[in-house]
Amino acid sequence: MRRLIGLVVATLLIGSAAAEPIAPDTLVKNVTSDVLNIVSKDPEIQSGNTAKAIALVEAKLLPDFDFKRMTALAMGKDWRQASLDQQSALTSEFRTLLVRTYSRALTAYKNQTIDYKPAKIADDETDVMVRTEIKQPGAKSVSIDYAMEKLDSTWKVYDITVSGISLVLSFRDQFSAEVRSGGIDGLIKTLHAKNVIKASA
């Protein structure tokens, strides 16, 4: 449930890069509010239309996430063992896995609201944590924190922490086990297989 909530909110952090730099906390608030409004008025997404949710995510999510860094974090020390081609394949498969997971989570949106925590971000900071809290009717609130880095003039998400647990790092043990049993190529094949299953589900 916690991962689901985190993925729902992660999906909402979407939007194209603006002409002028936008503060990370402002980006989170503006885009989240906009997308929540879109989803709340789209009965197809709310009823489980994953294809439509995927189209929304692919159109707006990808520019705001650093999938290469996310994959490297999930891989840990094994990332350095991968060739450039393998790193590219890993990033592609991991991105596909996350996008499809985010899309399914987005279809589970049911009137959650977001409380944005005050943030003091200096102009020269390049790595920040944006903190929010998800409030759900009849359920305990859940903290969602976004680790963001500034690349050139654009802020990108590279990890999401749900109630103190990093979603990206939560894959590390699984990935490490796959590498030990089948090498880097084995992990790539496993991720590809999961993506094929998710696409046909």
Tell me the domain boundaries of the chain: 2-200
Name the residue among 167, 155, 169 with its Cα closest to residue 119.
155
Task: Give the integer Cα–Cα distance in Å for 94 and 57.
Answer: 15
**Which backbone phi and psi does 112 adopt, to 5 degrees?**
-70, 150
Report d(CA 126, CA 155) in Å as an integer: 8
Is the confidence at residue 15, as pLDDT, over 80?
no
Determine the CATH number of domain 2-200.
3.10.450.710
DSSP type of residue 19: S
Q: What are the pLDDT digits (tens) for 55-100?
A: 877 776 677 889 999 999 999 999 999 999 999 999 999 999 988 8
Map residue 67 onto helix, strand or coil. Answer: helix
Outline where 80-171 has alpha helix (H).
84-106
Q: How far apart are CA 2 and CA 30, in angstroms?
A: 23
- 187 pLDDT above the threshold of 70: yes
Reply yes or no on whether the pLDDT at 191 is more than 90: yes
CA distance linking residue 141 with residue 137, whole number of Å: 9
Tokens of 27: 């980006």
**Burial of 79: CB neighbours in 10 Å, binned 0-12, 13-18, 19+:** buried
pLDDT band at 5, cuts 50/70/90? low
pLDDT tens, position by position, 102-150: 777 777 777 778 899 988 888 889 999 999 998 888 888 889 898 999 9
- 3-class SS at 114? strand
Residue type, 49: N
Greatest Cα-to-Cα distance within the chain, rounded to the nearest angstrom: 48
Cα 162 to Cα 78: distance, rounded to the nearest angstrom: 24
- Closest to 184 (Cα-Cα) out of 91, 97, 69, 67: 91
